[in-house]
Amino acid sequence: MTFQFEYGDSHVISDTPHGTIVGKIEARHVPPLDDLDNTLRTALRNPSGSPPLRDIVKASDRVTILAGDMTRLWVGTSKFLPVLIDALREIGVSPDRITILLGTGDHRPHTDDEKRLIVGDEIFSRYQVVDHRAREKDDLVFLGYTSRQTPVWVNRHVMEADKVILTGGIVYHFLAGFGGGPKALSIGTSGYETIQNNHKIALGSATEGLDPQVCSGITWGNPLFEDLVEIMKAAKAHFLINTVINREKEIAALVAGDPLQAHQEGIKRVQDFYGIETDVMGDMVIASAMGYPEDINFYQVYKTLDNVTRVAKPGGVIVLFAECREGMGNEDFAHILTAFPDNAARYSYLESHCTIGGLMGFGIALWAQRYRIVLYSSMDPKLVEKTGVIPAFSPKDALEKGAELAGDDPEIVLMPHGSVTFPITKPHEE
């Protein structure tokens, strides 16, 4: 069988190795919205759990719009932002009273070309578009502590605005349960200290590694998500627009309104699109991170592995296609993966030096211990080896190595949209 999986800006094409394909787990086919602009205008007039936008924002208000960074390019900000800007213009808000704040979290800053790509040429040329800087205390305002003792530092552009509009995209998320919602503010535009303390909540015991309640698919009851909500409520969040993409990376749904209620409505769409019930498990899972920007770096590929491991048998093989053009993508992530002899040492370090990057690196290291992961990427093979992952030099080499590790006639599962497809495993019938 020949398959084609996304990789960077292109595809890898190869034959599957010897074995039996027992399942192909992929996102459902959902068409894009017929009329995105009209759908959003309608949602702004009839939002979920909120008055219409025109009743929230006044012409004299200073408005800060939170938007995702380059790793969230798939959200489609440049497609819906003009409609939001038009709605604010109709209310009477002038361009000089609107700031678009790019929620970088602790990611790198953007070039001007990248900013144009995120928001669109016209909006970049007419409006203030600024990067959040999580480590610059002068750019932040301290608001106290959450009930879990997370210090709340938030960008000044948020706190000094009269109205704050969150935007983003909703997918299954390995820590917050689902992306979008409060993450735009509570991670995207919060201080480094806030981000790291929030993510430390995910660290469980020495035996379990990560707290099992901090995982994909759970919001309420997930202590990390509940902490994000507290951070958002301590700051300002007046309205939300979130998109849901289909497997072709087109906007297939959107929600608008109250930041919590609209987010929960969007979660239901994501579950319909990407929550795939299955009873198959593979000796070998062949997966793609779904191309750029989902595979921009190894750090972002964590999301794919989180999904893929759900259908890999214990001790099984994962063959992953992810370009990782920007390498590891995070210094703490790279450090925890490459500078320690074993997972016990990693856990001990994280107890006193927990960062989001370190936490995610620890997660990769745990999976590399439980499974055999073969990665075809553009990264230096010697660097890949240091992470406990097996490097491959071509798609063919990746499959041959995977087949050799999987043994005779392995049962194979294919996951072409690994970054967004969430397998919901159900027990085999007796």
Class of residue 123 by CB neighbours under 10 A (exposed 0-12, middle 13-18, buried 19+): buried
pLDDT band with cut points at 50, 70 and 90 for residue 210: confident
Share of the chain above pLDDT 70, in %: 99
The model's pTM is 0.85
Neighbouring C-beta atoms of residue 360, cutoff 10 Å: 29
* pLDDT of 428 over the 60 cut: no
269-324 pLDDT, tens per residue?
Answer: 999 999 999 999 999 999 999 999 899 999 999 999 999 999 999 999 999 999 99
H/E element, 336: helix 331-338
* pLDDT of 257 over the 70 cut: yes
Tell me the domains of the chain and their CATH numbers. 2-25+280-425 (3.90.226.30), 36-273 (3.40.50.11440)
| Per-residue pLDDT at 381 | 96
* pLDDT of 404 over the 60 cut: yes
Extended strands (E) in 8-155: 10-15, 20-24, 63-68, 98-103, 128-131, 140-145, 151-155
pLDDT band with cut points at 50, 70 and 90 for residue 427: low
217-238 pLDDT, tens per residue?
Answer: 999 999 999 999 999 999 999 9
Could you give the C-alpha distances from 342 to 87, 210, 321, 374, in angstroms and in order?
A: 54, 16, 25, 19
| Per-residue pLDDT at 430 | 40
| Per-residue pLDDT at 250 | 94
Helix (H, G, I), strand (E, B) or coil at 357: helix
Which residues 6+ apart lie within 8 Å of 108 measured at CB?
none
Q: How far apart are CA 48 and CA 255, in angstroms?
A: 8
Could you give the C-alpha distances from 140 to 70, 132, 177, 366, in angstroms and in order?
A: 22, 9, 27, 35
Averaged pLDDT for residues 46-64? 98
Averaged pLDDT for residues 329-347? 94
Q: Which of 200, 145, 174 is nearest to 351 (CA)?
A: 200
Structure tokens, 171 = 């997918």
